[in-house]
């Protein structure tokens, strides 16, 4: 399916106005979801109750309002809410340029792709090339859905990325944590640097990783449907968490393990749970329909719905 833009805006670069379209850059991978059921196994339904009349209010009758005093609301009609949204500025205004890595990633929020709109290709590519050449990113202001954002616009070979940034008061200070600071010995630091060098890579390759925890839970659901019971097991790392350790010896042992690179293989339910037969359960449980997906599912495995 072709990507669909969520907005058409203008990106201002001095007196140059670049028409752009905005696209969501990410999509959330749904977690495994367990449904709330009644004791008899049937689905339950959520309802909204009027505090005043105790009557169930259907969604079709609901209205939106703003509480301006305790228990006092001003009601907005749908066309008024639409007017408020459309009244926001359609301009992404660049206010300054910064070195590419000047912004701490802790301030990063949601990311979007920017693509040139009609007659925007030439100035769009000029700005992208200029930012890449100068090794700088842009800091800009953007109003979107009742909030003004400070955003970063950065250049990639493929195009421009708009990154919403959190405000200072939205990021907590680590000073609240009262972290103890100690100075490592020269020997410990040398071994730690050797270990870092041993397992270092030059690039982050996102396609080498997948949600192994989700796969583990799906495998447990498969086992449960087949009539086996899932029992949590003890984790050895939990038993040693509070022990006093010799850092030097631990670092030497880590280095002696070879590359030390973490395994990227798929997890199985046996890695974190013991699967035992349920008393009186059938040998083969019912099969469930796989979740609709564009990716092929191997015939040797039945997938639980995420």
pLDDT of residue 144: 83
Tokens representing 220 are 């447990």
Is the pTM for the entire model greater than 0.85?
A: no
pLDDT of residue 208: 87
What is the spatial distance between Cα 114 and Cα 136, in angstroms, rounded to a whole number? 17
Residues 6+ apart with CB under 8 A from 130: none
With a cut of 80, say whether residue 287 has pLDDT above it. Answer: no
CATH class of 7-27+85-170: mainly beta
Domain boundaries defined on the chain: 7-27+85-170, 209-237+262-306
Q: What are phi and psi of 226, to 5 degrees?
A: -80, 0
What is the spatial distance between Cα 59 and Cα 75, in angstroms, rounded to a whole number? 16
* More confident call, 58 vs 85: 58
pLDDT of residue 305: 47
Percent of the chain topping pLDDT 90: 40
Residues in the chain: 306
With a cut of 60, say whether residue 255 has pLDDT above it. Answer: yes
Interval 266-280 mean pLDDT: 49
Task: Select the highest-mean-pLDDT range: 27-31, 141-145, 165-169, 171-175.
Answer: 165-169
How crowded is residue 222: how many other Cβ atoms within 10 Å of its Cβ? 19
Tokens representing 90 are 């359609």
Helix (H) or strand (E) holding 143, with range, is strand 136-143
């Amino acid at each position: 399916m072709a990507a669909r833009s969520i907005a058409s805006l203008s990106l201002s670069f001095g007196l140059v106005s670049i028409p752009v379209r905005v696209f969501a850059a990410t999509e959330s991978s749904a977690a495994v979801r367990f449904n709330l059921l009644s004791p008899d196994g049937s689905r339950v339904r959520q309802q909204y109750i009027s505090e005043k009349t105790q009557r169930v209010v259907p969604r079709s009758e609901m209205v939106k309002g703003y509480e301006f005093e305790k228990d006092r609301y001003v009601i907005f009609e749908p066309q008024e809410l639409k007017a408020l949204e459309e009244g926001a500025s359609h301009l992404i205004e660049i206010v300054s340029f910064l070195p590419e890595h000047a912004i701490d990633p802790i301030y990063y929020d949601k990311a979007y792709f920017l693509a040139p709109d009609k007659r925007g290709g030439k100035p769009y590519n000029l700005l992208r090339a200029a930012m890449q050449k100068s090794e700088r990113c842009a800091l800009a202001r953007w109003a979107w859905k009742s909030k003004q954002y400070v955003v970063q616009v950065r250049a990639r070979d493929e195009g421009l990325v708009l990154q919403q940034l959190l405000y200072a008061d939205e990021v907590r200070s680590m000073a609240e944590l009262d972290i103890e600071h100690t100075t490592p010995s020269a020997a410990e630091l040398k071994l730690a640097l050797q270990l870092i060098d041993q397992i270092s890579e030059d690039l982050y390759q996102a396609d080498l990783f997948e949600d192994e925890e989700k796969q583990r839970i799906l495998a447990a659901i498969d086992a449960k449907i087949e009539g086996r019971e899932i029992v949590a097991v003890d984790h050895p790392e939990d038993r040693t968490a509070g022990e006093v350790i010799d850092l030097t010896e631990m670092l030497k042992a880590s280095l002696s393990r070879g590359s030390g690179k973490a395994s990227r293989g798929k997890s199985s339910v046996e890695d974190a749970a013991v699967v035992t037969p349920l008393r009186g359960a059938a040998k083969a449980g019912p099969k469930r329909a796989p979740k609709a997906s564009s990716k092929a599912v191997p015939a040797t495995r039945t997938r639980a719905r995420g």
